A and B are shown apart, each in its own frame.
Chain A
Amino acid sequence: MLGAPNGRDGVRSPMFVLSFLIRRLAQGAVIIFLVSLLIFTLLRVVPGDPVRLMAGGMAPEALIEEIATKMGLRDPIVVQFGRYMGKVVQGDLGQSFVRPANGAATGGASFNDATRGERAEVLDLILETLPMTLQLAATALAIALVFSTALGVAAGLNPGGWIDKLAFYVSSVFISLPNFWLGIVLALLLSVKLGWLPAIGYAGYSYTILPAIVLAVELSPVLIRTLSSAVAAQMGQSYVAIGHVRGLTLPRIVLNHALRNASVPLLNVLGVQFSSLLGGVIIVEYIFDYPGLGLLTINAVLQRDFPLIQGIAIVTSAIFVLINILVDLAATSIDPRLEY
C-alpha cells in the first residue's frame, strides 16, 4: 500500500491520527488566540467603564482613576493583552471584576463594600457552570439526533412521499418557532399546567429536560433537512442500484452503505450547529434560570465583567475548535477520501 493513510479495514493508522491532531490543534491554538485578541480589543473600545460599575456610582473620579491605574486598565491595549495572555497560558483566567468569591454577584452600590476585596476566580466560575451546560447540550443533542434521524432517514428513503412532506412541514414549523416563546409556552404547559417536568432553577437531572427539548427543537430542522437530502442523494448513487443487482438486501444497503455515507454531511453540519447551540443556550438558560454557562455569560455582559467575558469567550472557542476537530476526525475515518 503505497503511502496509504489507512491501516487494515478502515482503522486509521496511529501516525495519521497523530499528525492530524497535531496539525489541527496548532491551527486551533491560533484561532483561539485570534478570538481572544478580538474580544479583548472590542471589550475595551466599547463605551462603559467597568471601574465605575465596580466602585459604584458615587465614587469620586480620582479614586476611579486610582483603581483603574492599579488594575492596569489605563495601559495600552497591547500591553494589557500581553499581560492577560501570559497568565492565560498558565491556566489563570484572572479574577472577576464584580463577583465575590463567596457567592452572589454584587452590583457594587457602595465602593467600600467589604466583600469586594475577595473576588472570584474566573476559572472557578466557568468550571462550576460548564458541566451544567454540557449536560444540557448533550441531552438536547441526543433528543435532536433521535428525532431527526427517525424522520430524516424515513423522508430520505421516500423522496416526495408523505413522510418527506411531513418532515418538511415539521422542520418549517420548528425553524419558525422562536426559542424564548417556545420555552415559555412549554414551561407553562408541561410544568405549570400538567406538572410533568420542573422548569425553573436546578435541583436534579429532571430540570435539564425541558430546556433541552427547547434546544432540540431549534437544532432539529437543519439536521432533518441535511439527513433527508443526504440519504436521498446516496440512494440515487449507482452503488445502491448495483448493490441490488449484486444481491444485497435493501436493509443492508441502507444501514451499511447509504447511512454510512450520509452521516458525513450530517457530522459536518453538527460541527457548525454547535455554535448555534451555544447561542441558544444563553437565551434558554436565562428563561429557565438554569445555572449554566449561558446564564453566567448574560450576567457577565450585563455587569461589564471583562475578565469573565474574556474567559467565557476563550473557553467556548476552545470547545468549538475541539468539537470541530473531533467531527473532522470522525468524518475522515468514515470516508477515507476526505482531507482536512
Chain B
Amino acid sequence: MAAAVLSVRNLSVDLALAGRERPILKDISFDMRPREIVGVVGASGSGKTVLSKAVVNWIEAPLAIRGGEVRFRDRDILAMAPGEMRRLRRDVAYVGANPMGALDPTLPVGRQIVEKIRAVAPEIGGAEAARRVVELLEAVRIPSAKARFHDYPSQFSGGMMQRALIVDAMVSNPTLLVADNVTQPLDVTVAAQVIRLMRELTERFETAVLFVSSSLPVAREAASRILVIDDGRLVEEQPTEALIASPRHPYTRELVSQVPAIWREAPAVPRGSNAERSAVVSLNDVSQTYRVRKRGAFAGASELRAVRRVTFDVFKGDSFAVVGESGCGKSTLMRLLSRLERPAGGEVLCEGQDISKLSGAGLLAFRRKLQLVLQDPFDSLPPRTAIGRMLEIPLRVHGWRDAGRIREKVRAVMNDVGLPDALYEELPTGLSAGQRQRVNVARAMVLDPEILLMDETLSALDQTEQFKLLALFEKLQREHSLTYIFISHDLAMVRKACNRIAVMYLGEVVELADNDRLFFDPGHPYTKALLSAMPTLEERRYRPEDCLLEGEPPSPIDLPTGCSFRSRCPQAFDRCVRENPLLTARGRTDLSSCHLVSSPSAIAAERASRSTGT
C-alpha cells in the first residue's frame, strides 16, 4: 500500500463565538492514498464543509482548530506559516459548491486561471500558462475553449463554470483535490458529466480527491471509499460498495434506508382512482415569451420562448410532477399556473375557468384554491415576523376577522404540519431549513386550498428532512384530499411521490407519462438521459454510456430548427433537423414527442382521450 498523501489525525474544530461555543468536528482521523477518491457524506450541519476547509487550511474565525493535525506529505499544514502554505496551494487544490462566486466577475475566466498558475508556479511563463489553460478547458469539454478563455464568469453557465474551476484546481497538477459539494448546484446530467470528468482527471494527473457530498448516491458515483460523518464525528468508514451493502453504524443504516428506491420497489402512489377523475387544472396550448434586450445593438429585442405550446391536465387527487433541468421553463410554468403571469398564448383553466380572465373576488377565490410553496426556505419567510403572525396574514387577506377563530385555525394548521405550539410567538431566526419549509407549507395550508403548487420545495433540504416532509405531504393529501403539482429537478423524489410526470426540455413537454411507465419504459431519449444520470444506490436500468448527454441545452433565444433536443440527442437523425416531433400517444395515457415513437397519431390522441373523459 502506498504511503498516505494525507493523514488527518484527531482533528477537532470548534465554533468559537462568544456565548455560543460548541464543537463542530470531534476527533476525526483518516488517511488518503495517492489517486484515491474518498467520499465524505453526512447531513447538512454535520461538519462536512468544515472538514473540507480544514484539510486545505482554510479555517477562519469564528471557527478555530481545537486540536489535531492535517498531515500532507508528512508535514502538518495547520502549523505552517502563511507564506509556506501559499506555496503549497500548488499541490493542495480546492473546488467549492458555489462556482458563480468563486472568480472575480470583472475579469475573463482564462486570465484568472493564468493568474493562479503564475501565483503558485512563477517559473511557468504567461504564454505557456495560457496554452495549458486552453488545453485543459478542452479536456473538460468546454466547447470552443479558445474563445471561452476570454469570456467573463457571467457568460458561463453554472455547469461550465464548475468545469472551469476544476481546470483552475487541476492546472497546477495538485496531489490532493478537495471537492466540496461540487455537483450540488448542477443539473443531474451536468453533474454526471462533472463526476465522470473528475474520475478521468484523477487518472490523468494522479490526484487524490476528497469528495464531500450531502448525497450518498452522488458520493457513490464518484468515490471508492466513503467516510460517514454524523454530528462532527466520523462514524463509519468502508469501501463504497461494502458500505452500501452492509452499513454498520445505525446512522449509516438510516442514511442508506432513506435513499429513495427507484426501480427496486413499486412506489405507494397509484392514487387518483380512475372512478371520478375530473381535471382541476388544464393547460391548453400554453406559451410564454419574454423579450430580452440585445446587448451591443442600437435597439431591438430577442424573443426568449420560455414555454412552448404546453398542453396537459392535472386531475383531482393527482400528484403531478413537472421535471426538467434549469432553463427548461418549469419556473415560468409555475408562474403561469399560479397566475403570477398571464400566458402569451393559450389558456390555463382551473375547474373550467380561464384564470387569466379572473379579477377581484373571482381571483381571490382562485388564490384560495391554489396555493404556492416556494423553494428557498430562508428568503421566503420575513425575518422579523413571528411565525403565528405569518400564518394569520393569509387568513386576514382572505377576509377572516375574528381573532379568536384565526388563532384557533393557525394552531390547528401548525399542529397539522408538525410545528410545536411554542413557535407561535417565535421569530423564524433559529429554525432549521426543514422547520422553515413546514412554516411555508402551513402558510399555504391555512387557507384550506385544493391544489398545492410546490416549486422545488424539497430541493434545499437534506435527505433526512426530505424524507420527513414527503411523509407529511402524503399525510396531508390523505386528510385533505389535496392535488399536488410538484415542480422539480429531482427524479428520485418524483418517483417516490408522484403518479404522473411531465418532462420538459427547452420549454416543451417532451414526455408525459404515468410514474411506472416513465421510469421503466421512457419514450423520449431525454427522459432516458435524465434517468441514466440520476444518482442511485441501485443497479442502473439505463447505462450512462448509452444515453448520457454531452454539453448543455442550447439557449432558448436561439432555438435549433426541428427537434430542439437534437443537438444533444444520441439518436438524432436527419428528420429531426427538418421537423419538430409532435407529442405522440404511446398507449392509453402516455405521450412522447420523438420521431422514434412509432404511432403517428400525434396530439389528436390526447385531445380525443380528453374529450371522452378518460
Contacts and interface: CB of A to CB of B under 8 A. Distances in A.
A32 B604 CA distance: 61
A72 interface: no
A238 B154 contact: no
21 contacts: A1-B147, A1-B151, A2-B558, A4-B151, A4-B155, A10-B107, A13-B296, A15-B296, A16-B295, A238-B96, A239-B104, A246-B89, A246-B94, A247-B89, A248-B116, A248-B119, A249-B119, A257-B106, A260-B104, A335-B105, A336-B106
B145 interface: no
Given A23-B298, A238-B101, A337-B152, A9 B115 contact: no
A247 B120 contact: yes
B552 to A, nearest CB: 13
Given A1-B151, A261-B105, A339 B116 contact: no
A87 interface: no
Given A5-B295, A22-B298, A336 B558 contact: no
Interface in B78-107: 86-87, 89-90, 93-94, 96, 98, 101-107
Contacts of A19: 296-298
A222 to B, nearest CB: 23
B294 A249 contact: no
Interface of B: 56, 58, 60, 86-87, 89-90, 93-94, 96, 98, 101-108, 111, 115-116, 119-120, 147, 150-152, 154-155, 168, 172, 293-298, 555, 558
Interface of A: 1-6, 8-10, 13, 15-16, 19, 22-23, 237-239, 241-242, 244-249, 252, 256-257, 260-261, 264, 334-337, 339
Closest 10 CB pairs of A and B: A247-B89, A238-B101, A247-B120, A5-B296, A16-B296, A257-B104, A335-B106, A5-B295, A245-B94, A242-B102
A337 B168 contact: no
Nearest to B121: A247
Contact of A247 (B96, B108, B119): B119
Contacts of B56: 245
Contacts of A2: 555, 558
B115 A239 contact: no
Contact of A239 (B103, B108, B154, B293): B103
Contacts of A264: 106
B337 to A, nearest CB: 31
Contacts of B107: 10, 256-257, 260
A1 B106 CA distance: 17
Contacts of B297: 19
A36 to B, nearest CB: 26
Nearest to B104: A257
Nearest to B88: A247
- Majority-rule SS of A interface residues: helix
B150 A6 contact: yes
A339 B90 CA distance: 37
B129 to A, nearest CB: 13
Contacts of A245: 56, 58, 89, 94
B97 to A, nearest CB: 10
Given A244-B58, A245-B56, A248-B116, 6 more contacts: A8-B150, A238-B96, A239-B101, A242-B96, A248-B115, A337-B106
A334 B106 contact: yes
Contacts of B147: 1
Contacts of A3: 294-296
Contacts of A9: 108, 111, 150
Nearest to A264: B106
A340 to B, nearest CB: 11
Contacts of A335: 105-106
B106 A261 contact: yes
Nearest to B554: A2
A6 B101 contact: no
Contacts of B111: 9
Contacts of A22: 298
Nearest to B155: A4
B144 to A, nearest CB: 8
- Residue of B104, B105, B155, B295 with highest tally of chain A CB at under 10 A: B104
Given A239-B104, A257-B104, A335-B105, A246 B116 contact: yes
A239 B176 CA distance: 21
Contacts of A8: 150
Nearest to B302: A3
Contacts of B108: 9-10
A237 B101 contact: yes
A3 to B, nearest CB: 7
A249 B555 contact: no
Contacts of A1: 147, 150-151, 155
B295 A339 contact: yes
B151 A260 contact: no
Contact of A249 (B86, B101, B105, B155): B86
A336 B116 contact: no
A239 B86 contact: no
Contacts of A249: 86, 119
A336 B111 CA distance: 15
B304 to A, nearest CB: 13
Contact of A337 (B105, B120, B293): B105
- Residue of A23, A239, A256 with highest tally of chain B CB at under 10 A: A239
Contacts of B89: 245-247
A245 B89 CA distance: 7
Contacts of A336: 106, 152, 154
A85 to B, nearest CB: 26
A339 B120 CA distance: 35
Contacts of A13: 296
A337 B154 contact: yes
Contacts of A261: 104-106
Given A6-B150, A238-B98, A239-B103, A252 B295 contact: no
A99 B205 CA distance: 82
Contacts of A247: 86-87, 89-90, 116, 119-120, 172
A8 B148 CA distance: 10
A282 B108 CA distance: 44
A248 B115 CA distance: 8
A2 B302 CA distance: 13
A248 B93 CA distance: 12
A246 B60 CA distance: 16
Contacts of A16: 295-296
Given A247-B89, A248-B115, A337-B152, A242 B94 contact: yes
Nearest to A252: B119
Contacts of A246: 89, 93-94, 116, 119-120, 168
A69 B136 CA distance: 80
Contacts of A242: 94, 96, 101-102
B297 to A, nearest CB: 6
Contacts of B60: 241
A6 B151 CA distance: 8
A260 B150 contact: no
Contacts of B105: 239, 261, 335, 337
Nearest to A26: B298
- Residue of B101, B107, B151, B293 with highest tally of chain A CB at under 10 A: B107
A237 B100 CA distance: 11
Contacts of B120: 246-247
